[in-house]
């Protein structure tokens, strides 16, 4: 059966602001699923709290709208229970880099085969415009009316040094490129991290800022197997801002290192009459 | 072998010899040093708790004599390392029989590490009670089997300790305890029982962050993960722990987590998430002395109200408190079944005393520990209409498909949602969904009221004097009942096993003719007492509360009952 874009639509009414970068991310993700022809039942989308959190309501695949910051642990549990599912987490910059930050380095070094997309608009949108860990220094927000006194976090560098095996940046202003990134991330075996520059039309509109600065790493012959080069590119944030795949390497996934996961997914195993007597040896 | 390992071997030796043991390890939160001790009571009939008084003290240092002499019975024995300086005549004036044994000397002869003194002392103890040394030696060989040389040196140490006593004092100077036939009983802690219960229940994923006194669940499961094809993960913190477990059960893998108060505090938000998304999860809360870091290695029952109310909003949950390791096994299996049947979080409350103490139990009856799946859909959804994860049903329980099921798109949501799982703040929908969850609560209430195990009654059921308690105090209370019965005082003990939903009707019936109600709890405020007032409009008449990190001993319960009876 062919998977079509129409099948991926849901009955839910979209409540994002007109012009929101989330629309591009949603479109790119749906296109990626159609182009890869992945059955809907095989995909699980996990979202956190924030404007991005509605994402699951708008795409007709399995979805888990979790509490603030916990996309990665939920995704990890799902993948362990059923390794055959395509598990894709979506977070905002608040969800991922503020409250949920403790999970990123660990998911990365574990190399669980989960895809993680961060809608990075550098602002808290749903709570009406407060500072986040990626808001540039000096920016005035409702919680930093005198300008943000803190240096922003570098998400790509963080992912790289944590051992992520696929690290990329997308731009919500370029849907075709983002679609390609999603496809590459889904095809990658291992933890795939994509930070998406996503302008917030209402509270922090960065469309023009980024449009003038972004360039594609594919266009400049960037070697995605070169870790140090990737790290250098992660620190490039001035007149030129790179998007595309920074780094990609094939390493054993967490699931591949666990012999218990060989064979059928855990969720489908027969659990009706587990013989525990073999553990009595420890109790005698 | 340190004190903990030696204690376990002692418990296993007597159990293999056909006796029953309750053994408790007492240790401060340190890796080395401090005063550690193992306190065991051995009986020829089933035993549920420690007794305060002992027949034998093994003292590896003077500190032990100072701290524990008060526990020694008249004409009890003390094994003392002849290397330590102490006042022998002072001990003898108190009626103790002192056996000086060169524990250190023997270890030095063997060229072994100082800890091997424990094995010499165990061997010597076997001689004092004329117990078959071979049983101990076989336990040592088995326990240390992976490290043959270490096993043999400990075996040799035990033999020398044994011989020393036989040559110097003769066999059975203290008493004679002959091994009886080995009936295949197990020596198990509450932690191990919970782990084993999870395995029996078909748990395929276990997540935990180390926290005393729950960590041994993690250790046990990590050891057997390949034997049972269970994935055991230690994530970055307890927030990750519980969310992974919820994610895993959403995708079809029965999951459990175990922690103590601090870790549970971090899990509270996700417990509400499990309730809202209607994803089952089993959470073991092994209580320790609080608040905050408290006394990490000491026992308490201070988290009952915390477990009952953890997380914002109103939602149904089960809170179950096993009273001993045997119950812990069966109730854990039950917890998984209930979690899936009602699609709710289930909290199993244990405490340090239950979680880490050794108890001799018969091998489990697996016919009484069966997996019952809830309303689940596996493989393919056959319904004619589109699958709705939160379909409104009469009982409030919606058929649960796991993602990957053909023809079913499974949308779950921590936000208020409609039948399909889409978020909505619609007023009418909010009411419908709250009522759906409330219907589950009503059904759960019936489950508890119709369940013999939700409240257990022991002793003289018709007695107008009742002791009431929950959790690990069961042990000391049951032993107290034995003592009281021998004194001709007949009371009953009411053990509340299900704390949520609260078995109100059952308790009303059971307590109807009770004139004196004595509450026994390991906490400061008498939390079960407040629940009785809340649900039964009845306050306990007497309180016996202990909150120094130590468990109750039977004699404390006996004294209080005698005071009440007077």
pLDDT tens profile B249-306: 999 999 999 999 999 999 999 999 999 999 999 999 999 999 999 999 999 999 999 9
Q: What is the pLDDT of residue B380?
A: 96
Contact yes or no for A60 and B409 at CB 8 A: yes
Task: Determine the residue of chain A that is closest to B387 in CA distance.
Answer: A62
Contact yes or no for A276 and B251 at CB 8 A: no
Residue B225 · residue B252 · CB < 8 Å: no
Q: What is the pLDDT of residue B146?
A: 87
Give me B331's structure tokens.
Answer: 């109730």
Residue B15 DSSP SS3: helix
Closest CA to B1 of B213, B155, B218: B155
Asked whether residue B1 carries a pLDDT value surpassing 80, the answer given is: no
* B542 DSSP β-pair partners: B518
Closest CA to B91 of B102, B79, B83: B79
Structure confidence by residue, pLDDT tens digits, B84-109: 999 999 999 989 999 999 999 999 99
Task: Kindly list the residues from chain B whose CB atom is less than 8 angstroms away from the CB atom of residue A85.
Answer: 251, 403-404
> What does the alpha-carbon distance between residue B16 and residue B11 come to, in Å, rounded to a whole number?
9
Bond into B213 cis (ω within 30):
yes
For residue A61, give the nearest of B220, B363, B409 by CB distance. Answer: B409
Task: Determine the residue of chain B that is closest to A41 in CA distance.
Answer: B404
Could you say which DSSP state residue B94 is in? T
Count contacts between A and B (CB, < 8 Å).
209
- Nearest CA-CA distance, residue B168 and chain A, Å: 32
Contact yes or no for A283 and B187 at CB 8 A: yes
Contact yes or no for B422 and A266 at CB 8 A: no
- Nearest CA-CA distance, residue B287 and chain A, Å: 23
- Nearest CA-CA distance, residue B387 and chain A, Å: 11
Task: Kindly list the residues from chain B whose CB atom is less than 8 angstroms away from the CB atom of residue A46.
Answer: 247
Q: What is the pLDDT of residue B89?
A: 92
Confidence bin at B29 (pLDDT 50/70/90): confident
> What does the alpha-carbon distance between residue A136 and residue A143 come to, in Å, rounded to a whole number?
14
> What does the alpha-carbon distance between residue A50 and residue A47 come to, in Å, rounded to a whole number?
9
- Nearest CA-CA distance, residue B143 and chain A, Å: 8
Contact yes or no for B252 and A279 at CB 8 A: no
Give me B319's structure tokens.
Answer: 């809170």
Q: Is B277 on the interface with A (CB under 8 A)?
A: yes
Q: What is the pLDDT of residue B382?
A: 96
What does the buried/exposed string (b/e) look like for B356-387 if buried means 16 or more CB atoms within 10 Å of the residue's CB?
Answer: bbbbbbeebeeeebebeebeebeeebeeeeeb
Work out the mean pLDDT of chain B and round it to a whole number. 97
> What does the alpha-carbon distance between residue A10 and residue B420 come to, in Å, rounded to a whole number?
10
Contact yes or no for A42 and B404 at CB 8 A: yes
Q: Is B176 on the interface with A (CB under 8 A)?
A: no
Give me B175's structure tokens.
Answer: 């008493």
Structure confidence by residue, pLDDT tens digits, B302-361: 999 999 999 999 999 999 999 999 999 999 999 999 999 999 999 999 999 999 999 999
CA B89 to chain centre: 41
Q: What is the pLDDT of residue B67?
A: 94
Percent of chain B with pLDDT over 90: 97
Q: Which residues contact B169 (CB under 8 A, 6 or more apart)?
A: B99, B127, B128
Could you say which DSSP state residue B452 is in? G
Residue B460 · residue B494 · CB < 8 Å: no
Residue B116 · residue B67 · CB < 8 Å: no
Concatenating the DSSP letter of every residue in chain A gives ----TGGG--SSPP-SPTT-THHHHHHHHHHHHHHHT--GGGEEEEE-SSGGGGGGGGSSSEEEE-STT-HHHHHHHHHHH-TTSEEEEEEEHIIIIIITGGGHHHHHHHT-S-EEEEEE-SSBTTTTSB--TTSPTT---SS-TT---SPPP-HHHHHHHHT-SEEEEEETT-HHHHHHHHHHHHHSSS-EEEEEE--BTTTB--HHHHHHHEEEGGGGT--TT-HHHHHHHHT--SS-EEEEEEEE-----HHHH-GGGSSS-GGGS--TT--GGGGGGGG-
Residue A89 · residue A117 · CB < 8 Å: yes
Task: Kindly list the residues from chain B whose CB atom is less than 8 angstroms away from the CB atom of residue A33.
Answer: none
Give me B441's structure tokens.
Answer: 């609560």
Asked whether residue B128 carries a pLDDT value surpassing 80, the answer given is: yes
Residue A152 · residue A137 · CB < 8 Å: yes
Give me A199's structure tokens.
Answer: 């302008």
Helix axes B190-200, B215-228, angle to 10 degrees: 30
At B102, phi and psi to the nearest 5? Answer: -75, 70
Distances (CA, A) of B478 to A206, A228, B249, B469, B481: 71, 67, 38, 11, 5
Closest CA to A67 of A103, A100, A106, A93: A100
What does the buried/exposed string (b/e) look like for A41-75 if buried means 16 or more CB atoms within 10 Å of the residue's CB?
Answer: bbbbbbbbbbbbbbbbbbbbbbbbbbbbbbbbbbb
Residue A229 · residue A222 · CB < 8 Å: yes
- Nearest CA-CA distance, residue A98 and chain B, Å: 15
Residue B65 · residue B58 · CB < 8 Å: no
Best of B186, B251, B409 to substitute, by most chain A Cβ atoms within 10 angstroms, is: B251
Q: What is the pLDDT of residue B31?
A: 76
Contact yes or no for A279 and B254 at CB 8 A: no
Asked whether residue B33 carries a pLDDT value surpassing 80, the answer given is: no
Best of B411, B416, B429 to substitute, by most chain A Cβ atoms within 10 angstroms, is: B411
Task: Determine the residue of chain A that is closest to B221 in CA distance.
Answer: A279
> What does the alpha-carbon distance between residue B96 and residue B75 come to, in Å, rounded to a whole number?
5
Work out the mean pLDDT of chain A and round it to a whole number. 97
Contact yes or no for A274 and B200 at CB 8 A: yes
Q: Is the dihedral of CA B64, B68, B73, B74 positive or negative?
A: positive
Q: What is the pLDDT of residue B32?
A: 75
Residue in the block written with tokens 């009406």: A128
Contact yes or no for A265 and B192 at CB 8 A: no
Structure confidence by residue, pLDDT tens digits, B167-207: 999 999 999 999 999 999 999 999 999 999 999 999 999 99
Residue in the block written with tokens 């889409």: B422
Question: For B388-412, what is the mean pLDDT?
Answer: 98
Question: For B460-465, what is the mean pLDDT?
Answer: 96
Residue B63 DSSP SS3: helix
Give me B209's structure tokens.
Answer: 């962050």
Q: Is B514 left (phi over 0), alpha (psi -120 to 50) or beta?
A: beta
At B53, phi and psi to the nearest 5? Answer: -80, 145
- Nearest CA-CA distance, residue A222 and chain B, Å: 34
Task: Kindly list the residues from chain A whose CB atom is less than 8 angstroms away from the CB atom of residue B222.
Answer: none
Least-confidence region, from A140-149, B25-34, B211-220: B25-34
Could you say which DSSP state residue B457 is in? E
Contact yes or no for B422 and A10 at CB 8 A: yes
- Nearest CA-CA distance, residue A274 and chain B, Å: 5
ipTM of the complex: 0.98
For residue A65, give the nearest of B188, B402, B413 by CB distance. Answer: B413
Task: Kindly list the residues from chain B whose CB atom is less than 8 angstroms away from the CB atom of residue A53.
Answer: 415
Residue B176 DSSP SS3: coil
Structure confidence by residue, pLDDT tens digits, A202-239: 999 999 999 999 999 999 999 999 999 999 999 999 99
Contact yes or no for B364 and A276 at CB 8 A: yes
Q: Which residues contact B46 (CB under 8 A, 6 or more apart)?
A: B20, B360
Helix axes B117-128, B148-169, angle to 10 degrees: 40
For residue B229, give the nearest of A44, A67, A269 by CB distance. Answer: A269
Task: Kindly list the residues from chain A whose CB atom is less than 8 angstroms away from the CB atom of residue B250.
Answer: 64, 74, 77-78, 81
Give me B269's structure tokens.
Answer: 């938000």
Q: Is the dihedral of CA B461, B464, B467, B470 positive or negative?
A: positive
Radius of gyration of chain B (CA): 26
Residue in the block written with tokens 């408790």: B24
* B22 DSSP β-pair partners: B41, B359
- Nearest CA-CA distance, residue A272 and chain B, Å: 6
Task: Kindly list the residues from chain B whose CB atom is less than 8 angstroms away from the CB atom of residue A10.
Answer: 422
Task: Kindly list the residues from chain A whose CB atom is less than 8 angstroms away from the CB atom of residue B237.
Answer: 102
Could you say which DSSP state residue B115 is in? G
Question: For B554-563, what is the mean pLDDT?
Answer: 98
Best of B19, B226, B232, B247 to substitute, by most chain A Cβ atoms within 10 angstroms, is: B247
Confidence bin at B145 (pLDDT 50/70/90): confident
For residue B414, give the nearest of A65, A260, A282 by CB distance. Answer: A65
Task: Kindly list the residues from chain B whose CB atom is less than 8 angstroms away from the CB atom of residue A67.
Answer: 243, 269-270, 273, 414
Task: Determine the residue of chain A that is closest to B184 in CA distance.
Answer: A284
Contact yes or no for A85 and B255 at CB 8 A: no
Distances (CA, A) of A153 to A156, A158, A195, A248: 9, 8, 12, 22
Contact yes or no for A11 and B188 at CB 8 A: no
Residues 345-404 of B with CB under 8 A from A: 363-364, 366, 370-371, 378, 402-404
Q: How do the pLDDT tens digits run along chain A, 284 residues long? A: 799 999 999 999 999 999 999 999 999 999 999 999 999 999 999 999 999 999 999 999 999 999 999 999 999 999 999 999 999 999 999 999 999 999 999 999 999 999 999 999 999 988 888 999 999 999 999 999 999 999 999 999 999 999 999 999 999 999 999 999 999 999 999 999 999 999 998 999 999 999 999 999 999 999 999 999 999 999 999 999 999 999 999 999 999 999 999 999 999 999 999 999 999 999 99
């Amino acid at each position: 059966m062919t998977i079509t874009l129409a099948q991926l639509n849901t009955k839910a009414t979209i409540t994002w602001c007109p012009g929101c970068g989330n629309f591009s991310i949603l479109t790119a993700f749906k296109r990626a699923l159609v182009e890869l022809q992945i059955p809907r039942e095989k995909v699980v989308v996990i979202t956190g709290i924030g404007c991005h959190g509605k994402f699951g309501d708008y795409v007709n695949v399995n979805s888990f709208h979790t509490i603030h910051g916990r996309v990665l642990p939920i995704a990890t549990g799902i993948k362990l229970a059923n390794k055959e599912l395509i598990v894709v987490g979506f977070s905002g910059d608040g969800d991922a880099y503020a409250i949920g930050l403790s999970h990123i380095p660990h998911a990365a070094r574990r190399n669980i085969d989960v895809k993680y997309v961060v809608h990075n608009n550098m602002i808290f949108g749903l709570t009406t415009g407060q500072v986040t860990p990626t808001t540039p220094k000096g920016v005035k927000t409702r919680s930093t009316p005198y300008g943000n006194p803190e240096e922003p976090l570098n998400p790509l560098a963080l992912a790289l040094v944590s051992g992520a095996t696929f690290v990329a940046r997308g731009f919500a202003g370029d849907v075709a490129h983002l679609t390609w990134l999603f496809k590459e991330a889904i095809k990658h075996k291992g933890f795939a991290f994509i930070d998406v520059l996503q302008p917030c039309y209402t509270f922090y509109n960065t469309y023009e800022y980024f449009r003038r600065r972004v360039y594609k790493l594919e266009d400049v012959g960037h070697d995605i197997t070169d870790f140090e080069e990737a790290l250098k590119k992660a620190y490039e944030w001035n007149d030129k801002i790179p998007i595309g795949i920074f780094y990609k390497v094939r390493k054993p996934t967490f699931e591949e290192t666990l012999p218990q996961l060989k064979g059928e997914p855990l969720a489908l195993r027969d659990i009706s009459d587990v013989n525990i007597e073999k553990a009595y040896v420890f109790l005698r | 072998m340190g004190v903990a390992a030696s204690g376990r071997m002692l418990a296993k030796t007597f159990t293999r010899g056909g006796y029953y043991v309750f053994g408790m390890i007492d240790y401060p939160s340190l890796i080395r040093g401090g005063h550690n001790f193992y306190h065991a009571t051995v009986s020829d009939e089933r035993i549920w708790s420690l007794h305060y008084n002992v027949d034998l003290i093994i003292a590896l240092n003077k500190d032990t004599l100072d701290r524990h002499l008060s526990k020694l019975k008249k004409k009890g024995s003390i094994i003392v390392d002849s290397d330590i300086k102490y006042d022998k005549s002072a001990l003898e004036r108190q009626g103790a029989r002192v056996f000086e044994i060169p524990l250190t000397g023997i270890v030095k002869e063997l060229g072994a590490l100082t800890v091997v003194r424990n094995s010499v002392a165990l061997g010597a103890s076997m001689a004092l009670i004329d117990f078959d040394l071979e049983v101990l030696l076989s336990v040592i060989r088995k326990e240390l089997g992976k490290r043959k040389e270490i096993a043999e040196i400990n075996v040799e140490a035990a033999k020398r300790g044994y011989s020393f006593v036989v040559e110097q004092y003769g066999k059975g100077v203290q008493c004679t305890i002959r091994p009886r036939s080995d009936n295949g009983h197990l020596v198990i802690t509450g932690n191990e029982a919970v782990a084993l219960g999870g395995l029996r229940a078909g748990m395929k994923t276990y997540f935990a962050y180390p926290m005393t006194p729950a960590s041994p669940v993690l250790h046990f499961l990590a050891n057997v993960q390949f034997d049972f094809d269970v994935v055991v993960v230690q994530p970055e913190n307890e927030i990750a722990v519980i969310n992974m477990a919820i994610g895993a059960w959403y995708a079809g893998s029965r999951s459990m987590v175990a922690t103590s108060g601090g870790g549970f505090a971090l899990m509270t938000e996700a417990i509400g998430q499990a309730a809202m998304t209607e994803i089952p999860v089993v959470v073991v809360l092994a209580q320790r002395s609080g608040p905050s870091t408290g006394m990490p290695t000491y026992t308490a029952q201070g988290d009952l109200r915390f477990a009952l109310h953890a997380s914002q909003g109103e939602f149904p949950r089960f809170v179950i408190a096993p009273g001993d390791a045997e119950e812990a096994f069966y109730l854990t299996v039950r917890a998984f079944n209930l979690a899936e049947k009602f699609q709710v979080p289930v909290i199993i409350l244990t405490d340090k005393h239950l979680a880490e103490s050794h108890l001799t139990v018969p091998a489990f009856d697996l016919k009484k520990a069966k997996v019952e799946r809830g309303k689940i859909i596996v493989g393919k959804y056959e319904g004619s209409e589109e699958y709705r994860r939160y379909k409104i049903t009469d009982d409030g329980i919606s058929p649960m498909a796991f993602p990957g099921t053909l023809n079913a798109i499974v949308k779950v949501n921590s936000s208020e949602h409609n039948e399909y799982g889409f978020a909505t703040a619609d007023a009418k929908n909010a009411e419908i969904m709250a009522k759906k969850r409330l219907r589950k609560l009503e059904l759960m209430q019936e489950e508890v009221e119709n369940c013999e195990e939700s409240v257990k009654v022991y002793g003289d059921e018709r007695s107008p004097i009742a002791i009431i308690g929950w959790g690990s105090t069961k042990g000391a209370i049951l032993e107290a009942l034995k003592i009281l019965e021998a004194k001709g005082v007949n009371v009953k003990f009411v053990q509340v096993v299900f704390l949520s939903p609260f078995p109100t009707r059952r308790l009303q019936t059971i307590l109807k003719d009770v004139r004196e109600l004595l509450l026994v709890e390991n906490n400061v405020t008498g939390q079960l007492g407040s629940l009785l007032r809340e649900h039964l409009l009845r306050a306990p008449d007497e309180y016996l509360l202990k909150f120094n990190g130590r468990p109750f001993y039977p004699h404390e319960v006996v004294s209080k009952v005698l005071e009440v009876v007077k």
